[in-house]
Structure 1
Amino acid sequence: MSYLEYNVKRVPSGPGKVLYLNWPLLLLLSAVAAVGFLMLYSVAGGSLEPWAEPQMKRFALGVVAMFAVAMVPLWLWRNLAGVAYLGSVLLLLAVEFFGTTGMGAQRWIDLGFMRLQPSELMKIALVMMLAAYYDWLDIRKTSHPLWVVLPLILIAVPVYLTLRQPDLGTALLLVMGGGIVMFVAGVSWWYFGAVIAGGIGLVAAVFSSRGTSWQLLKDYQYRRIDTFLDPASDPLGAGYHITQSKIALGSGGWTGRGFMQGTQSRLNFLPEKHTDFIFTTLAEEFGFIGAFSLLALYVGIVAFCIVSATRNRDRFGALVTLGIGATFFLFFAVNMAMVMGLAPVVGVPLPLVSYGGSAMLVLMVGFGLVQSAHIHRPRDR
């Protein structure tokens, strides 16, 4: 028996595990969700229907799912990583044949009681799969070219299937999330330099292919890029979303117009005010102070993930925690950059705040894995 094995304190089984939960993390998640409930109540004109009440029920279900996942020993989630990944890939394939279409994209599977978006499941399954892979792999082989190819394939498969839906925003999140897990696992900087160079070449190819027979993006995706570069070129068409978003952001000032007093959202100038652009409603009603407060809550959640991962001597647990934290960071960073005009509009929701079922439930399951890693991490006697 090794010194580490001998000096590790076992976590109690059964209800006693609840005492080992990362309660500050749960409080931060609940605070962010409460902000979402408040804003959904506001954009509905002071009513719990049709968005706030269903969101509350989903969050409650998400908390139950988080507790259930947290109580399961981490080694079991490590063993199920391949099953989760393969199942998510099969669901992405099922979207090709049985998926329902909304707003020009085929991304969902209708289950009757809810619409499941398999690409949301893949964000967590990919982190689990890569963490299990690098936990299994000898750390000395991490940067060997032969052992770098497999994780690249694991990332490329769901990215390709997601792009076919088409869903550029989620595909980018999968690439960046997978890349972060590879980076924290110890893959050499040289590979990331090569990827960045390839990315620059891909961007050039995307622009060069426009209007040709081998066009790489859909026409509406090119219009989004045009809008990002020059929103004023079509203020009533493709540039309408971002133009109204900037007006709402600017009109909030330091302290905002007041709860339920935002003109852009109340008068329906702001599209998708309950989903992708809900952050602008918050900024208009509560100003810079309100927006910064939400950002502080988000940063607090990511900080707790980083601290928990650095204290975890289990490699799989540390990588899963960092991967989930990075995925969460990418969610809110991309959404905020998008609504402020710092990035193209790619349809990424604001985590735990935007109205939605699949995204919230899957995210809470992800934080259940973070809690499981926290509960079952090796502890000194």
Structure 2
Amino acid sequence: MMGRSTSMESNSLQRPTSLWHRLHVDPLLLILLLLVSGGGLIVLYSGADASIGMVERQLMRLGVAFVAMFVFAQLDPSVYRRWTPWLYILGLAGLVAVLLAGVGAKGAQRWLALPGLPRFQPSEIMKLLVPMMAAWYLSRHYLPPRFVHVMIGVGLVLLPMVLIIQQPDLGTALLVGAAGMFVVFFAGLSWKLITGFFALLAVAAPAMWFFVMRDYQKQRVLTLLDPQSDPLGAGWNIIQSTTAIGSGGWSGKGWLQGTQSHLEFLPESHTDFIVAVLAEEFGFVGLLVLLAAYLLIILRCLYIAVNAQDSFSRVLAGALTMTFFVYIVVNIGMVSGLLPIVGVPLPLISYGGTSIVTLMSAFGVLMAIHTHRRMITA
């Protein structure tokens, strides 16, 4: 009787009783996301040339994104595991629908306009569904996976990539591919397979240059190598961006005092190149503060991944975290002239709709993995 009483007391002590656990929200991660998003609105106001209307629209989108995060956090990871294959098929159908009847803008056909729904990009949703699908498949087998299972997992990643490239949207395709390949990597690959993958990539690179990449994509790579070859054309974006970053110095010119963005030298200053606005107005110090906040978010997400209780949750959480990291590296790399310009927004800072909702949904999945952990009874 006493043993049973002790066991019951132990169980009651181990059940989560805080409000945060009942809401299935990780408070530390939530606070960090709110801080970065709030700072992003301040930078966006300047990058959008003091347009309060754009800030209000972004605030509404952030509201929808945080609601999506909260909703995704309520679902047990077993629900994601059960519904992932069907959602993945639905996502593929959306990508096919874009190619057949999508809405075009700026030379690309990437959006769907369904009756009663706002226009959205199915490719953005695949940033979440592809790693979920890869994690679902690989976690069904013993880890580390056998070669045949790795190849099937890679195929599940490549299929949506091919469809997205046809839109064309190479930047999003690469991010979707990175999200899926991180799952394959975290599932446990031998060094032989990793070496073989990079060797295959090196062999395939020339074929991609001649048969896959379009002329404007090749021009972006050539411009990266020598921006001054066409300073008033293809090299304009990189030149103006690096000029803005360099002119900010240590402490910046001050909020709303950036000349490159407000005199309209800097293109897309509210979306892809918003980090150049931040660097010009807040300087190296402001950029370090942003990177420190990003680092704290990544560390918290990695902590969630390490402490996940099953293979599906562990590899999925790790992949979503590293995808967020890739977003940051690619955006800052392309704006500073270290990577080709591929149209990747800066997470939580750039103006956007579907992208921010998808990103916050991914954080909701991470919170679900952390807060739905099964309690260990004594």
Q: TM-score range by the shorter chain?
A: over 0.9
Displacement after TM superposition at 1:16 (Å): 7.2
2:37 alignment partner in structure 1: 33
Match of 1:22 among 10, 26, 30: 26
For the Cα contact (< 8 Å) 2:49–2:261, is it kept in 1? no
CA 1:38/1:270 → structure 2, altered by over 3 Å: closer, same or farther? same
Shift of 1:228: 0.6
**Letter matched to residue 39 of structure 1:** V
Q: Which residue in the other structure is 2:339 paired with?
A: 343
Q: Is the 8 A contact 1:11 1:375 kept in 2?
A: no
Write out aligned runs for 1:1-381 (5 A).
Answer: 17-18=21-22, 20-49=24-53, 51-111=54-114, 114-139=118-143, 142=145, 144-207=146-209, 209=210, 215-381=211-377
CA contact (8 A) 1:28 1:301 kept: yes
Distance in 2 (alpha carbons) for counterparts of 1:200 and 1:16: 48
- Offset of residue 20 of structure 1: 4.9
Deviation at 1:219, TM superposition (A): 1.0
In the aligned structure 1, how far is the partner of 2:267 from the partner of 2:173?
23
TM-score, scaled to structure 2: 0.92
2:131 and 2:355 mapped to 1: Cα distance?
15
Q: Report the secondary structure of 1:106's partner residue.
A: strand
**Whole-angstrom CA distance in 1 between matches of 2:218 and 2:294:** 31
**2:46 & 2:117 partners in 1: Cα distance?**
26
Give structure 1 stretches of 5+ with no counterpart: 1-5, 210-214
Compute the displacement of 1:131 (Å): 1.4
- Contact 1:275/1:349 (CA < 8 Å) preserved in 2? yes
Q: Which amino acid aligns with 1:362?
A: T
Residue ranges of structure 2 left out of the alignment (5+ in a row): 1-7
In 2: Cα distance, 1:14 partner to 1:254 partner: 43
Pair 11,220 (structure 1): closer, same or farther in 2 beyond 3 Å: farther
Give the partner amino acid of 1:189.
Answer: W
In 2, distance between residues paired with 1:155 and 1:124? 12
Q: Deviations over 1:212-241 (max 9, x none)?
A: xxx321111111111111001001000000
Aligned mates of 2:80, 2:277 — CA distance in 1 = 38
Q: In structure 2, what residue type is equivalent to 1:267?
A: L
* Deviating more after overlay: 153-162 vs 308-317: 308-317
Distance between the aligned counterparts of 1:94 and 1:72, measured in 2?
28
Give aligned pairs, total.
367
Q: TM-score, normalised by structure 1?
A: 0.92
Q: Which amino acid aligns with 1:28?
A: L
| C-alpha distance in structure 2 between counterparts of 1:88 and 1:145, whole Å | 26
CA RMSD of aligned residues (A): 2.0
Structure 1 position 334, deviation (Å): 0.5
